[in-house]
Structure 1
């Protein structure tokens, strides 16, 4: 696997986490790969062979070749049909809402073709330019011009949503929403509405994903193999809560995670 990341233009740094590319040679017996929620929304362009996304044990769809993957709150499997070559943009949780007018909650747990988000003319033109570009740097230039043109200058990130996300990131997802809002119930209702509009999931769900990321990184970097210590360092109430959340978002328990062939791609992204 050849996985690389690139930093965005300064004018987009508040909204775009990074650009990434992934190349994997075709394999005769390619393994399914389990994809774990990471709290981000991504725009992806499949430049190689088709990729399957399983909707059940034996059923799958072919992913659109130019798509936006919304927030995911449950794991899913993908499987390459041959050579993997992907270029993608990873947005911060609140970032992608600044480029579209539809509710972000409509994108949750699925892939949406970009022509449905930006119109057939603009979507197809962008896809064509990305495909015909000679390298990653040229593709980054194309997508940055597109995003800067699409950005509505009047739109601003909702201050309550952003401050909540900042607090969740600062505390690795452990901060309670009540504490962030200092018990103001009217703000909480407003926050819930705006989160669904701008992020696509609830603040509680996003906090759980961010906290799980902390635990996954500890496991993958082999900081400790003791699940109790991982739960404590990741601010879980106890080991049982850690295991419950882990299984909810990955589909397996922590002891089966490391060394699992279906986790190779997710492991690469999280390291």
Structure 2
């Protein structure tokens, strides 16, 4: 697998976490790969062969070739049918809401073709521009121009949502929402509504996903020796709390995570900053 990340234009760095590319040679018997939540929204362009996204043990859909993957709160499986060549944009949790009018909650747990978000004509033009460019830097210029033009048409995101996410990110998801809002019940209700509108999941769910990502990096980079240490450094209450959340979002336990071949792609994505 060849996975690369790229820093976005300065004017996009508060909204776009990175651009990334993935190339994997075609295999005759490719394995399913389990993808775990990371709290971000992705816009992806499939430039190689099709990719299956499983909706059950045996049923699947073919992912749209130009799509947005909304917030996910449970793991899912994908499987390439041949050569993998993907160019994608990873947005911060609050980032993508700045570019669309569609409520972000409508995008959760599914792939949405970009034509449904930007209109057929605009989507076709963008997709063809991405396809016809032959290098990553050229594709980045295309998408950056598109996003910067969109950004000039949109108002800034709600300050309550952004400041809450900033706090969750800075504390690795460990600070309770009531602490962030200082027990202000009316503000908490407003936050819940705005989170669903702009982020697609609740602030509590986002905090859990962010904290899990902190633990995953420690696990994948082998910076700690025991699960108890990982739980402590990721600010879980205890090891049982860590394992419970880990299983909820990955579908397996930390013990089996590293040895699971279906998690090779997730390990590649989330083990790298």
Q: Is the structural similarity TM-score above 0.5?
A: yes
Give 1:232 deviation, angstroms: 1.1
1:77-88 superposed matches below 5 A:
77-88=77-88
Report whether the alignment pairs 1:53 with 2:58.
no
> Partners of 1:153 and 1:11 in 2: how far apart?
14
Matched with 2:188 is 188
> Partners of 2:194 and 2:236 in 1: how far apart?
26
- Secondary structure of the equivalent of 2:230? helix
Give 1:225 deviation, angstroms: 3.2
Matched with 1:111 is 111
Does structure 1 retain, via aligned residues, the 8 Å contact 2:98–2:154? no
> Partners of 1:224 and 1:258 in 2: how far apart?
14
- Secondary structure of the equivalent of 2:240? helix
> Could you list the per-position Cα deviations for residues 72-97 of structure 1 after superposition, in whole angstroms to 9, with x for gaps in the alignment?
00000000000000000000000000
Does structure 2 retain, via aligned residues, the 8 Å contact 1:68–1:111? yes
- Secondary structure of the equivalent of 2:236? coil
Structure 1 unpaired stretches of 5+: none
> Could you list the per-position Cα deviations for residues 99-150 of structure 1 after superposition, in whole angstroms to 9, with x for gaps in the alignment?
0001000000000000000000000111111111111111001101111111
Matched with 1:207 is 207
> Partners of 1:94 and 1:247 in 2: how far apart?
25
Matched with 1:43 is 43
> Partners of 1:87 and 1:70 in 2: how far apart?
16
Matched with 2:32 is 32
Give 1:152 deviation, angstroms: 4.2
TM-score, normalised via structure 1 length: 0.99
> Partners of 2:46 and 2:170 in 1: how far apart?
33
> Partners of 2:108 and 2:251 in 1: how far apart?
18
Does structure 2 retain, via aligned residues, the 8 Å contact 1:49–1:84? yes
Q: CA RMSD in A?
A: 0.8
Matched with 1:240 is 240
> Could you list the per-position Cα deviations for residues 52-78 of structure 1 after superposition, in whole angstroms to 9, with x for gaps in the alignment?
000000000000000000000000000
> Partners of 2:118 and 2:87 in 1: how far apart?
18
Does structure 2 retain, via aligned residues, the 8 Å contact 1:99–1:150? yes
- Secondary structure of the equivalent of 2:146? helix
Report whether the alignment pairs 1:156 with 2:161.
no
Matched with 2:258 is 258
